[in-house]
Structure 1
Amino acid sequence: MIQLKGLSKAFQTKTQTVTAVDNVSLSIDEGEIFGIIGYSGAGKSTLVRLLNKLETATSGEVTIEGESITSLKGQSLRSARQEIGMVFQHFNLLWSRTVAENIAFPLEIAKQSKQERNKRVQELVNLVGLEGREDSYPSQLSGGQKQRVGIARALANNPKVLLCDEATSALDPKTTDSILALLTDINKKLGLTIVLITHEMHVIRKICHRVAVMENGRVVEEGPVLQVFRKPQEHMTKEFVRQITEPEEDASEIVFNEEETGAVVQLKFLENKAEQPFISKVIRQFDVDVNIIQGKISQTQRGSYGSLFIRIKGSHEEIEKALDYLREEEIEAEVMEHA
């Protein structure tokens, strides 16, 4: 669906050349929600603006359904952009226009008749859950409602791709969840390809199928969300994953400051193991005691992923047998500390 090949973007300042996007190559499948995550300055927002040529690439190519966006100009580019909707962090609504008039704006530019516009606006109002607010102005709306208007406006021309640049960053957690649920619903109902830019890993966890991690303009890691959660390879990815797969309380303080014997072990397991009593099986089958220190299960689009810290007490031989059993059950077991 979307192919990025050797994509780079450099900005020239008075004193130096700053490379915001550095030789990025990615493939995004039709109908998937693809997340791009990174801290501020990683280049992710510049990257998403290259997808619809709001920024012009220094080198490389963007193709959508086989058509090169980077080579388009004038009317051809404007036509291509009608198939790429965009949702912004700060809504970018027209404050002198009502909800209905904001949603209708792209349709006016496309020179649709008033009858066609009104019909499409009402469809979109219903889709994003803004019934009864058609005549309200942005100043009369909550943050979540404003973003729903932004999403409806981005969908006005029936785009094939929806770009979301930090679409939930200005919202509180509860409103963020409602907007993410809306995007998931739109993805399923319309089969829309969504590219989502964020610095928040819980956003990736909740709705994305695959994720690319950016650092200093480069993609340092990419893959299915559940796979990246389970086995992050790069330091940056591990930082993001740790934010939501491990308990909020600092594990090291609990794990390493207790003056107790035994082995402290971190267990990592997927959804099919979350409901199985593997801890009780360990206690019954081996001469060990198990104390659960802390744990957390995180839900993703492709299933859940759990992380659990336990302390196993017993002889070295019995502890090793217990760990071997867990690994045979496809549960990752990493010994954090022996005492």
Structure 2
Amino acid sequence: MIELKKLSKVFDTGKGALTAVDDVDLSIAAGEIFGIIGYSGAGKSTLIRLLNGLEKPSSGSVVINGQNITAIKGSELRKARQKVSMIFQHFNLLWSRTVKENIEFPLEIAGVPKNKRDARVLELVELVGLKGRENAYPSQLSGGQKQRVGIARALANEPEVLLCDEATSALDPQTTDSILELLVDINKRLGLTIVLITHEMHVIRKICHRVAVMEGGRVVELGDVLQVFQSPKAEITKRFVAQVTDTEDSQETIKNLRKLYPTGELVKLVFVGDQTEQPILTQLIRKYPVDVNIVQGNIAHTQRGAYGTLVLQMKGSAQEISEALAYLNAESVQTEVMSNG
């Protein structure tokens, strides 16, 4: 569906060259929700502008549905852009227009007859959950409602790709979740390919199938979201995963337990997919004469399955603990000894 090949973008800042995107190769499947995560300056915003043709690459290509959009211009590029829509962090609505008028604006530009515009707007208002608010102005809407208008407007011309540029960064957590759930629903109903850029791992965890982690203009890690949560490789990826799986309280607890139980072991367990539903810990206690104290744990749900972490304080002989850990590893549970007695 989307192929980025050796894609680079270099800006002339007047003080020298700045490489915003550096030799990126990516393949995004049709109907996939694909996340791109990175901190400020990682190059993700430039990358998304290359995807919709707002920026021309310094080298490399962007191919969408077999069409190389980096090799076209003028009316041909404008036509291609109609198949790649975008929603923004700050909504970018027309404040003098109602909800209905904002949604139909791209249809007006495309020359769609009024009767067809009206029918399409009604359909989209229903889809994004704004029925009854058609005649409201943006100033009368909440942040979440404004973003729903932005999504409906982006869908007006029936695009094949929806780009989301930090689309939930200006929203509170509860509203963020409702918008993410709407995007998942749209993806399932319409089979729409969604490319989402963010600096929040919660967003990636909630809705994305796969993720690319960017740093310094390069993709430093790429994979299935559940796989990345289970085994993050790059240091920056580990920091992002920690946003969702670790808390300061749990780290403080671990530090305190190291002092309180110097002869025990602190062990972090990682459960993935069906493992989160199995009574593995119960079986461990029955099989091995070790004392187990649950320190901290949580389960995060991704589009590909659940991911759980559990920190245990284990007491017993070195051999007993070693055998217990071997059992967990045999059950495909990742273990990490976090303290030594």
The TM-score, its normalising length taken from structure 1, stands at 0.98
Is 1:243 paired with 2:243? Answer: yes
Distance across 2 between alignment mates of 1:254 and 1:22: 44
Is 1:261 paired with 2:263? Answer: yes
| Residues 266-324 of structure 1 deviation map (CA, whole Å, 9 limit, x = unaligned) | 10011312222222222221111011111111110011001111011011111111000
Gaps of 5+ in 1: none
| Residues 66-97 of structure 1 deviation map (CA, whole Å, 9 limit, x = unaligned) | 10010110000000000011001100000111
Question: Are 2:106 and 2:156, in contact at CA under 8 Å, matched by a contact in 1?
Answer: yes
* Code of the aligned partner of 1:188: K
Distance across 1 between alignment mates of 2:151 and 2:55: 21
* Code of the aligned partner of 2:237: T
Matched residue count: 339
Q: Secondary structure of the residue that 1:220 maps to in structure 2?
A: strand
Which residue is equivalent to 1:313? 315
Counting aligned pairs with the same residue, the percent is: 65
Matches within 5 A, 1:261-280: 261-280=263-282
Q: Secondary structure of the residue that 1:171 maps to in structure 2?
A: coil
Which residue is equivalent to 2:43? 43
Cα 1:16–1:234 shift into 2, 3 Å: same
Distance across 1 between alignment mates of 2:45 and 2:288: 53
Question: 1:262 Cα shift?
Answer: 1.5
Question: 1:256 Cα shift?
Answer: 3.0
* Code of the aligned partner of 2:19: T
Question: Are 1:247 and 1:296, in contact at CA under 8 Å, matched by a contact in 2?
Answer: no
Is 1:54 paired with 2:84? Answer: no
Question: 1:131 Cα shift?
Answer: 0.4
Cα 1:235–1:255 shift into 2, 3 Å: farther
Q: Secondary structure of the residue that 1:30 maps to in structure 2?
A: coil
Which residue is equivalent to 2:292? 290
Question: Are 2:102 and 2:149, in contact at CA under 8 Å, matched by a contact in 1?
Answer: yes
Gaps of 5+ in 2: none
| Residues 24-71 of structure 1 deviation map (CA, whole Å, 9 limit, x = unaligned) | 110000001000000011010110010011111111100001100101
Q: Secondary structure of the residue that 1:249 maps to in structure 2?
A: helix
Question: 1:113 Cα shift?
Answer: 0.4
Q: Secondary structure of the residue that 1:136 maps to in structure 2?
A: coil
| Deviation larger for 187-196 or 286-295 | 286-295
Q: Secondary structure of the residue that 1:123 maps to in structure 2?
A: helix
Question: Are 1:326 and 1:333, in contact at CA under 8 Å, matched by a contact in 2?
Answer: yes
Which residue is equivalent to 1:105? 105
Which residue is equivalent to 2:207? 207
| Deviation larger for 282-291 or 90-99 | 282-291
The TM-score, its normalising length taken from structure 2, stands at 0.98
Question: 1:337 Cα shift?
Answer: 1.2
Question: Are 1:254 and 1:293, in contact at CA under 8 Å, matched by a contact in 2?
Answer: no
* Code of the aligned partner of 2:323: K
Which residue is equivalent to 1:72? 72
* Code of the aligned partner of 1:312: M
* Code of the aligned partner of 1:42: A
Matches within 5 A, 1:62-141: 62-141=62-141
Runs of 4+ in 1 over 4 A off after TM superposition: none
* Code of the aligned partner of 2:75: Q
Cα 1:259–1:312 shift into 2, 3 Å: closer
